[in-house]
Amino acid sequence: MQRSMVKLLSLADIFSITNAIFGFLAILILFTDLIGSFNIKVHISLSLILLGLLADGLDGIIARKVKKSQIGEYLETMADMTSMCVAPAAFIFFVYYSSEIITFSIYRHIYLIVALVLFLSFGIVRLASFHIIKEEKIYIGLPASASAILLLILAYFEIWFILILPVVIIIGAFMASNIVFPKTNLKINATAFILILLTIIIGKEFFGIAPFLLFLAILIYVIAGPIYLKTSKKNR
């Protein structure tokens, strides 16, 4: 008996699809002439990717409350690939390729593309294996959402080109590593949610305090998370 593909979807899956749509729109904004201003393009694209991450968070919350669909895990992986790997890679390429500050040579093109291809490869490996190696209380490898936020904000502030390349590769490698990170609680998630919204709303206004605080919060998690797990394990 044939089954309707649409009927396989659950409410959580709608948010997964929304996540992917936001990622796709973020890429379109960058490489079309709908908006002429470089800064406005960059901010809207960043905002769309962050909205995708929020949709992904809602997807997880709803999936825990209601029955999961048969295709939910596959759909989530595909959506995350768009918003957390492909869209951030396109965002970084656009910022550094289009920036008036940087004079691009053929070698810089190659370095940038190689770094982004490596990041994308690490992201594919992580997302493809996530549902196989997932644990109840920890993440194995740096979460793709945290990786995306770190790189997006660094590119948003246009840090030196010579720095962004190794950072892209290192953060990508962290995603596919065996380093363990704690799963966040409700308070931490709520704080991240507020900082993401503030980043979307005010951007670089007020000396860029909102994206800076968001970056700082994620960086503290990346550094302190594995240390916290090791310390708590020793205490037990």
- The region of weakest confidence among 46-55, 61-70, 139-148 is 61-70
Q: Which residues of 19-47 are buried (b: 16+ CB within 10 A; e: fewer)?
A: bbbbbbbbbebbeeeeeeeeeebbbbbbb
More confident residue, 84 or 228: 84
Task: Tell whether 58 is covered by a domain.
Answer: yes
pLDDT of residue 91: 96
- The Cβ of residue 188 has, within 10 Å, a number of other Cβ atoms equal to 13
Task: Tell whether 213 is covered by a domain.
Answer: yes
What is the rounded CA–CA span in Å between residue 56 and residue 172?
20
Task: Tell whether 1 is covered by a domain.
Answer: no
pLDDT of residue 32: 86
Task: Tell whether 101 is covered by a domain.
Answer: yes
Task: Tell whether 228 is covered by a domain.
Answer: yes
Closest CA to 92 of 167, 151, 159: 151
Domain range holding 221? 6-235
- Report how many domains make up the chain: 1
pLDDT of residue 150: 96
Q: Give me the phi and psi of 100, to 5 degrees please.
A: -75, -15
- Do strands 138-140 and 180-182 pair parallel, antiparallel, or not at all (unpaired)? antiparallel
pLDDT of residue 76: 84
Judge whether residue 4 has pLDDT over 80. no
Judge whether residue 50 has pLDDT over 90. yes
Using a pLDDT cut of 70, give the percent of the chain over it.
Answer: 87
Q: Residues 6 or more apart from 224 whose CB is under 8 A from it?
A: none
Residue 24's identity, in one-letter code, is F
- Residue 15: CATH number of its domain: 1.20.120
Tokens read off for 191:
């704080």
Instruction: Pick the most confident of 76-80, 94-98, 140-144.
Output: 140-144
Instruction: Classify burial at 12, counting beta carbons within 10 Å of its beta carbon; exposed 0-12, middle 13-18, buried 19 or more.
Output: buried
Give the confidence band of 1 by pLDDT, cuts at 50, 70, 90.
Answer: very low
More confident residue, 20 or 100: 20
Q: Write the pLDDT tens digit of every residue in 108-153.
A: 778 889 999 999 999 999 998 887 877 778 889 999 999 999 999 9
pLDDT of residue 103: 58
Q: Residues 6 or more apart from 80 whose CB is under 8 A from it?
A: 19, 56, 127, 144
pLDDT of residue 184: 84
- The Cβ of residue 186 has, within 10 Å, a number of other Cβ atoms equal to 8
